[in-house]
Structure 1
Amino acid sequence: MTITLQLSLIFFCFFLFTSIQSHSTSLSGTAKITYLSPTILFANYDKMIADFKIYIYKTPKAISPTFTSSPESIFYSNLLNSEFVTQNADDAHLFFLPFAPDTSTRALARLVREIRQSFSYWNRSLGADHFFISRAGIDYGSDRNVLELKKNSVQISYFPTKSGNFVPHKDITLPPVVDSVIELPHARANKTASFLGYMKLNKDDQSTWSLIDEMMDDQDFLIESEPFDHKSNINTSKYCIFIYNSDMNWFVEAIASRCVPVIITDRPIQDLPLMDVLQWSEIAVVISTRGGVKGMKLLLSEISEEKYERMKESGVVASRNLVWNAVPERYDAFYMVMYQLWLRRHTIRYTRREFA
């Protein structure tokens, strides 16, 4: 290696290091704690925009997607009209297998079998570089094709996903669609809190009725069965309370309005939206039902005012990544779901002769 080449290499490395350092220091303190790896995220995001390619299979008309107004519909529509789609399957990093939400297990097995036989891509990775959308997630099946789809392919489902239908670190959930307009990126600061916690009551939450009854008898909590003025209640409450696997459609609205979410569950949560990106421990509080209201109030009282303020601001930052826009905008829900797919593009691809 010549001295000139060595000096050029040293200069390049120094330039790269200082660029990364400069980008890192330019991030706000809130952004640094909101994201798991902020420096990597922003550098990797630009590479995704420039390089990421997806091939979409054409599926039979009988099982073609017919999503209604939902996160799945918005994601699917945005993907079809995005710069990520390629007509050359050899250029693709990932392959999208679209099918209708009500597709039967038998039809699903037949679809995968046809893809396996008609294209060379499935067998290269046993479906690990493929993804699909299923609102509730699919169950394991005895058919080899459905089993490979479930175990290997990336499932995009709706948050929260039914227990057992979500595979952590492989699958992805879509953030809920916000029904009302959110003031982003500068949501209103909370007024002086009138309530410790606010909750929109769902009559289907049978498993937590004893806890809900306790909260209804406690003046520190506002439990609303008919959410006539929930915006005001969000803005006058320190915490917004959610029963996991229940109505969480206003989850994004809460954090955008600086109401720290409290998620009540007795099992680990592994399907929060953007789990690969957001540091949820800095945004939300997870509480078990076992301690009752007394245990909940004790745990919340132990959160310092400094941390509470930090969580509120982290929620506002995160809400920008969880909002679906009619026309996708940088770092919004569509692009961040795409980023999670981008992170999953590295899969083992077997040589073709093994399947000859």
Structure 2
Amino acid sequence: MSTASIFRILLLHFSLSTVLAAHSQPLTPPYLSPNTIHPNYQNMFNSFKIFIYNSNSTFPFISPSQSLFYTRLQDSHFPTENPEKAHLFFVPFPSDLPPRSVSRLIRSLRTELPYWNRTLGADHFYLSCTGIGFESDRNLVELKKNSVQISCFPTPAGKFIPHKDISLPPVPSTPAPTSNTASFLGYAKFDWVKESTLVKELSSDPDFLIESKPSDLNTFADRLGGSKFCLFEYGGGDVSGIGEALRFGCVPVVITDRPIHDLPFSDVLRWQEIALFVGRRGGVVRDLKRVLGRACWERHEKMRKLGVAASRHFMWNETPEPFDSFYTLMYELWLRRHTVRYVRRESPFVV
């Protein structure tokens, strides 16, 4: 055997050893701040207090996740009847309440109680599945610009303010995963197959399984568990299944033509480590296969394991458990509890 051949074999052995060593190292938790999240969570759980206006009222909400959050909050230990001990104030109102009625509600809070004016609404939050727009009404402007909005994912364009607002993850609809043996490179579920160029191009590719709708939830679970990557078109397609994809070990691939600001738990999770983001410009299919091929070799297994670990945050448990959807949402609210309290005499509002 020639010296050159021996050198190539040693080089190949070294390369494989390096890759295997990298994959054998312990996984870093899928958190932005892995060293602080657990003590911060415990601090939140022990001390966080919320004052709910009209706490005994019940409202119809558009999505199951909104209803679950409101019910869980009311039944939890976070609410306080003493507003002076509250870190945040919750303003509940029905999903179908017209903007003019929302404006009247905010005006009544300002005139009848002192808490809104102390921060101009910055220590208040509300639920709105479709989000509040930038209206010209002063009360709605304050609500939109200052208060924390909890909206459903994905939030319509222009209705979400990064670093202030929070996204509600949807309620999972599939049973628990049973197998992670992947038989497809990519899977996509579309209810509008004929309208997507990407779907048309991938439908004839044997590496991908593209269908408009699985026959039942068990079949959908098999699709997720049997695919390495799950494709989502952000800004037109259905992206609500990202949390379920993580749970089944199917690495989400988000295809988008703009930055995404409303990903659930973006204050907690390292999304770049558990999902791939592919631009829509140019040859999407060509770029997509190139990105997936590289990811399969370099980091798919690591992303899959991190995604499964992160999926606990997307679970809506019948009885809330640590770090499930409800408690992670509470943690995100707790991160926003620091607000500037204005001196009341300096408030510029005149009713």
C-alpha contact (below 8 Å) 2:62/2:95 kept by paired residues: no
Pick the aligned partner of 1:324 from 311, 316, 339.
316
1:177 aligns with 171
1:311 aligns with 2:298: no
Secondary structure of residue in 2 paired with 1:38? coil
Gaps of 5+ in 1: 1-27
1:135 aligns with 129
Pick the aligned partner of 1:277 from 259, 268, 271.
268
Secondary structure of residue in 1 paired with 2:54? coil
| CA separation of 1:154 and 1:224: change in aligned 2, threshold 3 A | same
Provide the aligned length of Structure 1 versus Structure 2.
319
Which amino acid is 1:115 matched to? Answer: L
**CA distance in 1 between partners of 2:296 and 2:205 (Å):** 22
C-alpha contact (below 8 Å) 1:190/1:257 kept by paired residues: yes
- The C-alpha deviation readout for 1:134-177, integer Å capped at 9, x for no partner, is 00101011111100000000000001110100000000001110
1:231 aligns with 2:225: no
> 1:123 Cα shift?
0.7
| CA separation of 1:138 and 1:205: change in aligned 2, threshold 3 A | farther
C-alpha contact (below 8 Å) 2:49/2:79 kept by paired residues: yes
| CA separation of 1:82 and 1:113: change in aligned 2, threshold 3 A | same
Q: Sequence identity, in percent?
A: 49
- TM norm structure 1: 0.85
> 1:180 Cα shift?
2.2
| CA separation of 1:268 and 1:205: change in aligned 2, threshold 3 A | farther
> 1:29 Cα shift?
3.8
Secondary structure of residue in 1 paired with 2:151? strand
1:52 aligns with 48
Which amino acid is 2:92 matched to? Answer: P
C-alpha contact (below 8 Å) 2:193/2:212 kept by paired residues: no
Pick the aligned partner of 1:195 from 168, 172, 184.
184
1:240 aligns with 230
- The C-alpha deviation readout for 1:213-244, integer Å capped at 9, x for no partner, is 11112221110123122222222211011111
| CA separation of 1:301 and 1:252: change in aligned 2, threshold 3 A | same
1:73 aligns with 67
C-alpha contact (below 8 Å) 2:193/2:199 kept by paired residues: no
Which amino acid is 1:48 matched to? Answer: M
Moved over 3 A (4+): none
- TM norm structure 2: 0.87
> 1:196 Cα shift?
1.2
Which amino acid is 1:307 matched to? Answer: R
1:266 aligns with 2:257: yes
**CA distance in 1 between partners of 2:344 and 2:78 (Å):** 26
| CA separation of 1:278 and 1:296: change in aligned 2, threshold 3 A | same
* Higher mean C-alpha displacement, 298-307 vs 71-80: 298-307
* Higher mean C-alpha displacement, 136-145 vs 210-219: 210-219
**CA distance in 2 between partners of 1:294 and 1:343 (Å):** 41
C-alpha contact (below 8 Å) 1:322/1:332 kept by paired residues: yes
**CA distance in 2 between partners of 1:335 and 1:60 (Å):** 21
> Once superposed, what is the RMSD of the aligned Cα atoms?
1.9
**CA distance in 2 between partners of 1:235 and 1:47 (Å):** 36
- The C-alpha deviation readout for 1:24-44, integer Å capped at 9, x for no partner, is xxxx943x3400001111010
2:110 aligns with 116
- The C-alpha deviation readout for 1:106-157, integer Å capped at 9, x for no partner, is 1011000000011111111110000000001010111111000000000000
